[in-house]
Chain A
Amino acid sequence: AQSVTQLDSHVSVSEGTPVLLRCNYSSSYSPSLFWYVQHPNKGLQLLLKYTSAATLVKGINGFEAEFKKSETSFHLTKPSAHMSDAAEYFCVVRPLGWGGGNKLTFGTGTQLKVEL
């Protein structure tokens, strides 16, 4: 079994300040972890993924995330928010091997608001 908890449904930051979107997971199998972004009325775009290599993962648009097994966390960060970062963000877990039928489990999403 696996699950994902995004700890904040809404996050509001000022432009130029750091972004932190929190994600905790549980998985019976070694996990792959992903962050996706969805801009209004758009599809899902991959920001970054962790697949058992380096625990600090760098993604597009200046985002990065750190896999912490001891804390079962995969928080998304960005040093300086931009207005274009306003969107909904989803944390996703998937078994790394063949266990669990390759099922994707999504968090419920975090809406990021960026203010001037």
Chain B
Amino acid sequence: EAQVTQNPRYLITVTGKKLTVTCSQNMNHEYMSWYRQDPGLGLRQIYYSMNVEVTDKGDVPEGYKVSRKEKRNFPLILESPSPNQTSLYFCASSPRPSGNTIYFGEGSWLTVV
């Protein structure tokens, strides 16, 4: 079954404690990206990756890092989380052609206290 899997799904953490949200897809997709969803703002892109070792900033990259060492994985790293990073995070992937369907993970609820 085609899937984008995120972990953890729910996390409460404290300010400054580094954390990683993992994302893995089993469809051999080249394009992967991370979004955060906040009320009234829709989804905003944090980072995206066109292929292995190719990543670029989205609209709201501050406070986040990513890496793409393997095609299937695209972890999101919060080196020093702050309360304004409390949000719902989605990972997405799609094949190379831009018109194709984008597949989303189920979301990760992150609370930073």
**Known contacts A43-B90, A44-B90; is-contact A104 B102 (Cβ 8 Å):** yes
Known contacts A34-B102, A43-B106; is-contact A104 B42 (Cβ 8 Å) = no
* Stretch from B19-27, B43-51, B68-76 contacting the other chain: B43-51
Q: How far is the CB of B42 from chain A (nearest CB, A)?
A: 4
Q: Does residue A52 face the partner (Cβ distance < 8 Å to B)?
A: yes
Chain B residues with CB below 8 A from A34, complex form: 101-102
Q: Does B33 contact A (CB under 8 A)?
A: yes
Which residue of A90, A94, A95, A98 is within 8 Å of B43 (Cβ)? Answer: A90
Counting residue pairs across A and B whose Cβ atoms lie within 8 Å, the total is 60
Chain A's interface size range is 20 to 34
The proximity string for A residues 5-20 relative to B, scoring 1 for CB distances below 8 Å and 0 otherwise, is: 0000100000000000
A72 an interface residue at 8 Å Cβ cutoff? Answer: no
Asked whether, in the complex, the Cβ of A102 is within 8 Å of the Cβ of B106, the reply is no
Q: A93-114 vs B: 1/0 string, CB under 8 Å?
A: 0111110011111111100000
Interface residue B105 (Cβ < 8 Å from any Cβ of A): yes
Produce 1/0 per residue, A76-88, CB < 8 A to B: 0000000000000
**B104 contacts A44, C-beta separation under 8 Å:** yes
* In the complex, B98 has a CB within 8 A of chain A: yes
Residue A32 lies at the interface, judged by CB distance under 8 Å to chain B: yes
Min distance, Cβ B34 to any Cβ of chain A, angstroms: 11
The answer on a CB contact under 8 Å between B101 and A108 is no
Chain B residues with CB under 8 Å of A26's CB are: none
Is B107 in the interface zone, CB < 8 Å from A? yes
Whether A49 and B101, one on each chain, are in contact in the complex, defined by CB atoms closer than 8 angstroms, is: yes
